[in-house]
Structure 1
Amino acid sequence: MHVIEIDGYRAVIKYNPDIEMFRGEFTDINGGADFYAKDTENLKKEAALSLKVFLEMCAEDGARQ
């Protein structure tokens, strides 16, 4: 298991051999924001996008991350 940080938020990364992709999930937010990619470069892009969408939804709902 590996951890990356995107904009101050930590995500746990695991490799799924069944789909041959990396899966990441943010751990220090109060909701689900996961992301998938075939390589680490795209994983970071997908992570940033997933986090952005999650934070925008929280802002719209007036919820805390």
Structure 2
Amino acid sequence: MKYLEYKGYTGSIEYSPEDNLLYGKVLGVRGLISFEGETGKSLEEDFHEAVDVYLTDCKEKGKSPEKPFKGSFNVRIPAALHQKAALLAIETKTSLNNFVAEAIRSKVTNEPV
């Protein structure tokens, strides 16, 4: 799947054959910020406008805009897997955080660990 990028925000791209319409939402934020368009160009323009409106609304309300994909998240895994990862991290003289980051990096870039 391809994505739209603007001012640090990422938007999804979906298609509704029933409506003959492209649509999407801003990913990585809790609130719903959606956009649509009949062409790729109009979808991208509406995405930019949606992000700009969100940022303006936050500024007018005196609140900080939510930062998408801030680099921190909780992961729940089985205790046995947690133990194996923690022990391997110790053996390789790295933190569990770095061990997990490297495992994810390897998976998303299709490189072996």
Q: TM-score range by the shorter chain?
A: 0.7 to 0.9
Aligned match of 2:27: 27
Structure with greater helix share of residues:
2
Q: How many residues align?
A: 65
Aligned match of 2:17: 17
Larger radius of gyration: 2
- The one-letter code of the counterpart of 2:16 is N
Unaligned runs of 5+ in 2: 67-113
Is the 1:2–1:14 Cα contact (8 Å) retained in structure 2?
Answer: no
**Structure 2-normalised TM-score?**
0.52
Structure with greater strand share of residues:
1
RMSD: 1.4
**Structure 1-normalised TM-score?**
0.85
| Secondary structure of 1:2's aligned partner | coil
Unaligned runs of 5+ in 1: none
Q: Which has the higher contact order (CA 8 A, sep 6+)?
A: 1
